[in-house]
Amino acid sequence: MPEQHDVPSSPKFTDDDWRKCRDSGDYCPMMFEWYKFVGALCNFFACIRPDSSAVRSIPALHYFILVGLLNRCSRLMLVNVALSHEGLFGETTALIDRCIFESCVKIGWLCQSDSDERFVRFLADGLRTEVELKAKIKSNIEKRGGEILAIEKRMLTSIDGHIASSQLSEDQIAATKRLPDLAVMIEGLDQDRLMYIVGQRIGSHHVHGTWPSLRMHYLEENDEGMLRPRDHNCATHVNQYIFVPMIVLGVMNSFIHFIFDEEEDIAPMAGLLRSIEDEITKVNKEVVGNDFERTEGL
């Protein structure tokens, strides 16, 4: 596990920075910095050592599932920073944001309960495909009279390693109750259905290449009104820089409440997360402007 490091420094903005964003109506430069900061902060939380004196006794495998998911969120956020810093790859950052969202939902769902069951279900869910692939490889080997290809040997070794690291047997994997879908997880976290629609269903457009995704990122109209392939000019939308950090901040809060018992350990970190949410909300109020004022009917 990486060594513990210092809390990253939060971005600072001058009055001139605010003026430039207000004048242009473009708050992406500010939100990009907050997005980058939250990604780095997520890595900081993922690197809290399980043997730290303040961390309560948690099964090691459970702990590393959570920090693995946090590290996944952090690294994917920082990938988006690298992709989007020149105003390109908006089609790709949207796809990656969907992956971050799913990991966040799973962190929140796992941190909601202290029982083994949810963690076992998480492990088994990812290993069922491995077990199925192993059975198929063995079937092919039997059809050849026991002759094993080099690639099959490597694959079987890899599969057995993944299964062994889960501390589950193949019979346990098969018998374990399946994970609920994300809609059920989100509902269990007391989130509005809108969260599922925006984070999961809309996000899935970018994963699966549906018509809304094609129209948003891959097709455009020419001067004659005909559709044509869109050029490589998709920027990351400012809402992505807002939505994802807020979701990740929420699951970091769930994580610290899960791993710590003492309020004196939780309070400073929870306060830091709230202060960051406040700063992002401040920028978001400028972004949305009058979007939420009541208007006449459609």
Confidence of residue 25 (pLDDT cuts 50, 70, 90): very high
pLDDT at 113: 87
Alpha-carbon separation of residue 17 from 22, 235, 245, 283 (angstroms): 9, 20, 21, 12
pTM of the model: 0.89
Exposed (0-12), middle (13-18) or buried (19+): which is 75, by Cβ within 10 Å? middle
From 111, 44, 122, select the one nearest 78 (Cα to Cα): 44
Angstrom distance (rounded) from CA 161 to CA 220: 47
pLDDT tens string 162-173: 999 999 999 999
Decide if pLDDT at 124 tops 60: yes
Q: Model confidence over 207-222: pLDDT tens digits?
A: 889 999 999 999 999 9
Mean pLDDT score of the chain: 90
